[in-house]
Every structure is written in C-alpha cells, then in structure tokens.
Amino acid sequence: MKINLPDHWSNFIKIFTKKHKETIIYDVIRVFRNEEEIQERYDTYEFEDYLPEYIPIADDSGGQVAVISKNNKDTKVYLTSYGVLQEEYLEVLDRDLLHWMQRKFPFESKKNELSETDIEKRKNENTLLLERISSFTDIREFLKKTIAIEGIALPEYYAPIEHIYYFQDGYHYNSVENKNLTSDKPGDFKSNWIVLATNYFDDPFFIDLNEAEQMFPVYFAYHGQGDWEPIKIADSLKIFQEILEDVQNMRYDKTALINYFDENIDVENLFWKDVYLTIEDESVLDWEEIKQESFDSIGSKVNLYITDVGPNKMKVIALLKKEFDISGSEALELSKSPRILFTTGYSKWLQKTSKELEDLGAQVEFEILD
C-alpha cells in the first residue's frame, strides 16, 4: 500500500539532505532520504499489517527503528524495533524530527514523568512570566503579529503569549530530563532572557527583560553549539519587527531583497551575514519553488471581516478587545459596526480564527487581496 508522508517529514528531509550527504551518519544511523526508501522498509517489514498508522524514517545497526505517525498533527518521533511492531510498545524519542536531528539522532528514549508539584510549578512560572511581559506593549505587539518567514533562518515559530513559559522549553528548562538550564555561568542561558521566536532550526530570537529602558534589543544564538553566545541583531524589538515586515513584503523578489540588505542591514553581523548568504545562494528555480510551496501552504492573503456579531455578543466583544487592544467600551462601540475588519493574513492561518468566531455564532467573510 502506498503511504502518504506527513508535511513535517517533507520539511525535515529538505534540511537534512542539505546538512548530511553521507548514507550512514554518526557511524550507525541511516535516515531514509526519500519516499522509495521508506516505502521499501514499510513493505518489507509489513508495517501495514502490524503498525499501519506509523511510518519508518530511520534505523540503526541494532534492529531499532524510528517511526512517525501518519497523522500530520503528531510530530513526535517514536522508537521501536523491527521485531516488535506494536503500537503499545512505542516509546517517544523526541518531540519532532528537527529537534531529534539537532540531538544527533539518539536511539535511546528518556523517561519524563512530572510530579503534580512540577506541573503546578510550571503553571505558576507561566503565570508569573505572563504577568511580567503583559505590561510591555512592544512584546505584546511582536507576539501578536507573528511574521513567519520561511527558508532563510528568520523567525518561523512564535511563542503563544498565554503559554509563554512553555515556549522556553530547551532554553530555560529541559522537559525531557526535567531540569533547569539557566544560570549566571558564562555560556549558560540566563533567566532574564526570554525566547519570543525560533527559526526552523530551533535557533532562538530573544530579549533581556532587564533591558526595557533600551526598548528590548533583540538577540540571536545558534542552538546546539555547547555554549550560548548571544548575537545582537536589532537595537530594539520594534526595529526587528519592522525589518521582518520589510523582508516579508519582498520575500519573493530576490534582487529587491539583496538591495534591501545592502542598504539597510549590517551584513558584517554574523547572523545577518548568514541570512544574506542564504539569500544569495538560492537559485532562481529555488525561489520559484519556495514561492509556490509557500503559496500552496498558506493560501491567499485576505481580510477577515465580521459581518454580524451574532447571539454571543459579549464573547465577541471580548475578542475585539483583545485583538485591537482597546477598552471594553471601545470594543462595544466597534461591535455595532455593520462590517468589522477583524484581521488580515493568509487564508490558512486565519481558518482557526474564522472558526472561533463562527462557533460563537458570528458571521464572517473573507476578502481576497491582490
């Protein structure tokens, strides 16, 4: 039976094949590089009969095999062996393929059993951090806009503000080993550094909460280097956001983007130099493929309008208040408008927002932008 590979595997394998050219990596690990190799393992070891909801993606020299779910929403990497293909014996290896790659493809699972005390502690840490950052408009605006730029090492994933502490996993703490990672020692991640976004490689973009008076300069660091070595990449969070907006607006015009970097960005900065070289190295064909893939995955740019707030008026007003950062009375007045421009973005990104409004009984419509 022909298998359909989930999107997160396709994204992973593009990065993997650029980084690793050899067939066997780290002496014993073979990562299957294409659908044909995966299909061959799937058929040979009769996954369809024994483990039909999972797909083999790598193995080692000892008969162990790493598998992923066919369910696109489950990004975890699981461990089993070719001799025991039963779902109840699967063990979690890692949270996703990219993180597993960064850890050099270990084939040992680590137990992660949190006590009720630990769970409550993390909830409290999240509440405290949320309270602390909520007073800063620049942070709220940065996390609200979530300008995701694929393919050139800029932010792709943003911290959900209501779960800001949990986004610090891998930087402030290790959820696999259940230990704190912050300290004042040179090379360690500092407790006052807050990760607001990451790129596809899980490299963090972060601020120092002690630098509010400086409007939060933005720092970047390469993940998996042993020591954390912050690189200042923008004088303030607002400036960084403006750069991201500019880059997004010309993302598919290579010439314009290079000219923009030449005129506005310090390409001697280690981070920005890497971004610049990545842009330069992309061929015209690569850029056309990226453009088409991005369009296919995120859809058209649209305006999302509320045309009728519906029966749950107060709940919709609460959403208006949050979306526009306005007072309750201002949100109430806005709700009386016959057509409210709620937000602008790409159609795929706004499906969840649209459904949330419709579930409240509101009527919505999309307007496609040229």
Domains observed in the chain:
7-102 (3.40.1580.10), 116-296 (no CATH), 299-368 (3.30.1390.10)
Q: How far apart are CA 44 and CA 71, in angstroms?
A: 22
DSSP codes joined into one string, 73-89: T---EEEEETTB--GGG
**Least confident stretch, 95-109, 181-195, 229-243:** 95-109
Percent of the chain with pLDDT over 70: 92
| pLDDT 10s digits, 70-86 | 988 888 999 998 888 88
Residue 266: what pLDDT? 93
Q: How far apart are CA 313 and CA 328, in angstroms?
A: 12
Q: What SS3 state is found at 296? A: helix
**302 token code pair:** 């649209």
Instruction: Inform me whether the pLDDT recorded for 201 exceeds 80.
Output: no
| pLDDT 10s digits, 273-314 | 999 998 887 654 445 555 555 555 556 778 899 999 998 888
Mean pLDDT of the chain: 85
| pLDDT 10s digits, 18-74 | 878 887 888 889 999 999 999 999 999 999 999 999 999 999 877 899 999 998 888
| pLDDT 10s digits, 92-140 | 888 889 888 877 898 876 555 567 787 788 889 999 999 999 889 999 9
Residue 122: what pLDDT? 85
Q: Where are the beta strands (DSSP E) in the chain?
A: 24-25, 29-31, 54-59, 64-69, 77-81, 91-94, 157-158, 173-174, 179-180, 193-198, 204-208, 218-220, 231-234, 301-308, 340-346, 363-368
Residues 6+ apart with CB under 8 A from 195: 159, 167, 168, 171, 172, 204, 205, 206
**199 token code pair:** 């790129």
How far is CA 200 from each of CA 78, 96, 106, rounded to the nearest angstrom? 21, 11, 20
| pLDDT 10s digits, 311-354 | 888 888 888 887 877 877 888 888 988 999 998 877 777 887 88
How many C-beta atoms surround the C-beta of residue 142 within 10 A?
A: 26
Residue 286: what pLDDT? 47
